[in-house]
């Protein structure tokens, strides 16, 4: 029998089957709780396996809804969501389960292995972070806070959206649109009833970015910039309320402030370690950022202002760094890239990809089995080409997780890799941009992190249980190799002439990647520092502004106009999931750059660090904290210098 699930999704009977599975699960929970004596093996293990089975059943539907979207998948998917939510909410509020976990953790502390301990610890933390274990009055207040917070974040986005949509600027003088790409001009162009032509620019993407990047007229750029950075002033009051409520919530849950609450489930230890991490990057990027700014300044007729930088950056890029994607495409034929990546992974880690004959959801989708030392380890299901029914973007979606079942039988992992590469046809191959190659490596980095895990407990196997600020480490690690000449030359050859991608073209890729990288770094650090500092207490609107101004003294090389209220549009942290977590982007990049250069410096295919990376990080999954795994891998704490090196910052 196959070790892997067969891909199938019976839309017609899905809801009925889901309901019956959940009903069965719910009664299993009752039975498990009713047992007289409960242990890890008689309680935690079956609970975990139950969740794994649910993933097995549900994942094909969410996958299908994303890659073969239709009215039918949408209908079934949206009908299933509230059913699943109701089930998981009930589970996460079942305080009896929490109590059993606590008892088992205490009584079996000595006999359980670290994987099992981590399963218990994560589950217990999950309960405690929701406050399910607290008294009724506190729970009630937490619930009120949560409801209000979700209203506030919704209002924040809505205000921003309204302000974005309200504004438009009409250009009537053709001279003002000179230099914009044809496609942007075409989408801006409009004609009124009298046949007058004008060009409409708005604060929506990509219209706003287009004028800021290509628009010659600085006065118009300033008008747009001012409109953009003064959107939704009413969000200032919302920020005040959000900060107060988040602080209250964190204290009710037993944390010093919201930063402490957020970091308690992340890899980063505490506020101070994140702040000094960010400050250190800032200090080391500043000199180069200054030089980059001087380079920009040299081509500008007057002192650069906030609304000039994107424009002159584009001018400079065109002159010196721009790469023509069309020139590169013939070297990146999809199948050669994929096979080349397989060969690279085989040489780096000893894993082998063997085509598997499987009927999948689309004729273009295909499966590979993955072997390590001739032992079958996992399956990957690829769906790489764009089509109308597929959601945009690229992602890895885990399906089965490696574990041992209740009988001690080993179960293997599987995952989907989805991209939106140009479709191939019988007469023309799918030719990729270099960015696409990077994307494929990135998603493959997530994939091998999931499927090569040797952990026996599914809830902490592969990407399960990995801290939020560390999940991008394995993907970025692998992605970095897509810029390495030695790796690129394994597959980048012209699909017609067979010529290998020349060194000069590879060099250009790296240069263009690092174009104005220190200035970009400063900007990201400004956002991250602001996010950390604004979430460590309760602040008024004026205080929020003071915090931001203070950070900018250090991070902003061009004076920001005082009307700029960037914070009122920072939806990532005030309306999304990044509160006290925006630093994660840079955090994971540091880990990945550090491990990457250890491999490069040892010689890619002779690298001992690469072998250890397989054993420690990939096999280790989420069963240990990433900070422990990283220390085991490198024998030390992460070193930010390697990220600077990766960005070409000296």
Write out the residues near Zn ion by the rule CB under 5 A: 475
Q: Whole-angstrom Cα distance, residue 640 to residue 16?
A: 52
- Token pair recorded at residue 480: 């970095």
Nearer to Zn ion (CB atom), residue 431 or residue 444: 444
Nearer to Zn ion (CB atom), residue 393 or residue 603: 393
Q: How do beta strands 197-202 and 351-356 pair?
A: unpaired
Nearer to Zn ion (CB atom), residue 225 or residue 382: 382
Smallest gap, in angstroms, from Cβ of residue 539 to Zn ion?
Answer: 32
Smallest gap, in angstroms, from Cβ of residue 442 to Zn ion?
Answer: 6
Q: Whole-angstrom Cα distance, residue 335 to residue 412?
A: 26
Nearer to Zn ion (CB atom), residue 246 or residue 397: 397
Q: Whole-angstrom Cα distance, residue 442 to residue 473?
A: 10
- Token pair recorded at residue 303: 């002192």
Active-site residue, 36 included = no
Select from 398, 466, 397 the least CA-distant residue to 623. 466
Sheet containing 168-171: order of strands: 168-171, 197-202, 189-191
Please name the residues in contact with 512: beta carbons below 8 A apart, sequence gap of 6 or more.
317, 321, 322, 323
Please name the residues in contact with 227: beta carbons below 8 A apart, sequence gap of 6 or more.
167, 169, 203
- Residue identified by tokens 């790796």 is 487
User: Angle at the Cα of 612 (from 610 to 617), degrees rounded to 5?
Assistant: 95
Smallest gap, in angstroms, from Cβ of residue 583 to Zn ion?
Answer: 16
Cis peptide before 206 (omega within 30 of 0): yes
Smallest gap, in angstroms, from Cβ of residue 446 to Zn ion?
Answer: 6
**Cβ contact 42:35 at 8 Å:** yes
Nearer to Zn ion (CB atom), residue 475 or residue 627: 475
Nearer to Zn ion (CB atom), residue 415 or residue 547: 415
Smallest gap, in angstroms, from Cβ of residue 248 to Zn ion?
Answer: 33
Smallest gap, in angstroms, from Cβ of residue 587 to Zn ion?
Answer: 14
- What backbone phi and psi angles, to 5 degrees, belong to 171? -105, 130
Please name the residues in contact with 21: beta carbons below 8 A apart, sequence gap of 6 or more.
53, 54, 57
- Token pair recorded at residue 495: 């699909």
Nearer to Zn ion (CB atom), residue 52 or residue 479: 479
Q: Whole-angstrom Cα distance, residue 535 to residue 581?
A: 10
Find the Cα–Cα–Cα–Cα dihedral 323, 325, 330, 331, rounded to 10°.
Answer: 50
State which residue has the least CB distance to Zn ion. Answer: 475
- Token pair recorded at residue 438: 């990077």
Smallest gap, in angstroms, from Cβ of residue 398 to Zn ion?
Answer: 12
Q: How far is CA 304 from the centre of its chain?
A: 33
Smallest gap, in angstroms, from Cβ of residue 471 to Zn ion?
Answer: 7
Residue 92, classed as helix, strand or coil, is: helix
Select from 520, 490, 564 the least CA-distant residue to 227. 564
Residue 330, classed as helix, strand or coil, is: helix
Nearer to Zn ion (CB atom), residue 22 or residue 478: 478
Find the Cα–Cα–Cα–Cα dihedral 117, 120, 126, 130, rounded to 10°.
Answer: -130
Smallest gap, in angstroms, from Cβ of residue 475 to Zn ion?
Answer: 4
Nearer to Zn ion (CB atom), residue 226 or residue 513: 513
Please name the residues in contact with 559: beta carbons below 8 A apart, sequence gap of 6 or more.
305, 306
SS3 track for 96-143: HHHHHHHHHHHHHCCCCCHHHHHHHHHHHHHHHHHCCCCCHHHHHHHH
Nearer to Zn ion (CB atom), residue 238 or residue 471: 471
**What is the per-residue DSSP string for 529-590?**
HHHHHHTTS---HHHHHHHHHHHHHHH-SSPPPTT--GGGG-HHHHTSS-TTTTTHHHHHHH
Q: Whole-angstrom Cα distance, residue 300 to residue 306?
A: 13
Nearer to Zn ion (CB atom), residue 29 or residue 380: 380
**Which residue in the list 52, 443, 472, 526 is annotated as catalytic?**
443
Smallest gap, in angstroms, from Cβ of residue 619 to Zn ion?
Answer: 20
Looking at the DSSP bridge assignments, the partners of residue 49 are: none
Select from 386, 377, 462 the least CA-distant residue to 418. 386
Select from 428, 398, 435 the least CA-distant residue to 335. 428
Nearer to Zn ion (CB atom), residue 441 or residue 530: 441
- What backbone phi and psi angles, to 5 degrees, belong to 169? -130, 130
**What is the phi-psi region of residue 118: left when phi exceeds 0, alpha when psi lies from -120 to 50, beta otherwise?**
alpha
Task: Just list the catalytic residues.
Answer: 443
């Amino acid at each position: 029998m196959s070790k892997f699930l067969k891909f199938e999704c019976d839309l017609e009977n899905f809801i009925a089957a889901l309901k019956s599975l959940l009903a069965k699960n719910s009664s299993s929970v009752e039975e498990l709780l009713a047992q007289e004596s409960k242990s890890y093996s008689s309680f935690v293990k079956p609970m975990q396996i139950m969740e794994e089975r649910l993933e097995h059943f549900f994942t094909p539907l969410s996958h299908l809804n994303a890659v073969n979207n239709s009215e039918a998948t949408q209908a079934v998917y949206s009908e299933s969501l509230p059913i699943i939510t109701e089930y998981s909410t009930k589970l996460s509020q079942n305080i009896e389960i929490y109590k059993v976990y606590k008892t088992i953790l205490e009584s079996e502390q000595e006999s359980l292995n670290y994987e099992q301990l981590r399963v218990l610890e994560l589950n217990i933390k999950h309960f405690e972070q929701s406050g399910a274990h607290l008294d009724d009055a506190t729970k009630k207040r937490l619930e009120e806070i949560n409801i209000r917070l979700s209203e506030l974040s919704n209002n924040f986005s809505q205000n921003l959206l309204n302000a974005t949509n309200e504004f438009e600027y009409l250009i009537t003088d053709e001279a003002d649109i000179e230099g914009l790409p044809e496609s942007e001009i075409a989408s801006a162009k409009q004609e009124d009833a009298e046949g007058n032509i004008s060009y409409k620019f708005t604060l929506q993407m990509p219209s706003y970015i287009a004028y800021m990047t290509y628009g010659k007229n600085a006065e118009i750029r300033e008008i747009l910039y001012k409109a953009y950075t003064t959107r939704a002033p009413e969000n200032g009051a919302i920020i005040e309320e959000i900060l107060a409520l988040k602080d209250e919530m964190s204290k009710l849950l037993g944390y010093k402030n919201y930063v402490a609450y957020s970091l308690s489930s992340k890899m980063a230890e505490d506020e101070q370690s994140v702040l000094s991490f960010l400050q250190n990057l800032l200090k080391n990027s500043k000199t180069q950022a200054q030089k980059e700014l001087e380079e920009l300044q040299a081509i500008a007729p007057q002192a650069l202002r906030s609304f000039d930088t994107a424009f002159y950056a584009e001018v400079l890029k065109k002159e010196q760094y721009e790469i023509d994607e069309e020139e590169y495409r013939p070297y990146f034929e999809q199948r050669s890239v994929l096979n080349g990546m397989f060969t690279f992974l085989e040489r780096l880690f000893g894993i082998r990809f063997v085509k598997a004959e499987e009927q999948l959801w689309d004729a273009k989708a295909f499966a590979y089995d993955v072997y390590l030392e001739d032992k079958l380890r996992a399956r990957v299901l690829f769906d790489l080409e764009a089509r109308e029914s597929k959601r945009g973007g690229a992602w890895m979606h885990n399906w089965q997780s490696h574990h041992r079942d209740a009988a001690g039988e080993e179960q293997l992992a599987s995952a989907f890799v989805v991209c939106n590469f140009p479709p191939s046809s019988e007469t023309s191959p799918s030719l990729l941009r270099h960015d696409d190659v990077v994307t494929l490596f990135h998603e493959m980095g997530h994939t091998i992190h999931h499927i090569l895990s040797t952990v026996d407990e599914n809830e902490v196997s592969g990407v399960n249980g990995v801290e939020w600020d560390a999940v991008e480490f394995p993907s970025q690690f692998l992605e970095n190799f897509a810029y390495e000449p030695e790796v690129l030359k394994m597959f980048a050859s012209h699909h017609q002439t067979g010529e290998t991608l020349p060194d000069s073209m590879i060099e250009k890729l790296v240069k263009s990647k690092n174009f104005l990288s220190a200035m970009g770094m400063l900007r990201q650090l400004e956002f991250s520092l602001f996010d950390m500092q604004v979430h460590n207490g309760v602040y008024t609107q004026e205080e929020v502004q003071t915090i931001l101004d203070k950070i900018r003294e250090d991070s902003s090389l061009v004076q920001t106009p005082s009307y700029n209220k960037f914070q009122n549009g920072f939806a990532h942290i005030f309306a999304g999931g990044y509160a006290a977590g925006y630093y994660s982007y840079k955090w994971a990049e540091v880990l990945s750059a550090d491990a990457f250069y250890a491999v490069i410096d040892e010689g890619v295919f002779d690298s001992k660090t690469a072998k250890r990376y397989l054993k420690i990080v990939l096999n280790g999954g989420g069963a240990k904290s990433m900070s422990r795994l990283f220390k085991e891998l490198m024998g030390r704490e992460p070193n930010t210098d390697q990220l600077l090196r990766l960005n070409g910052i000296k």
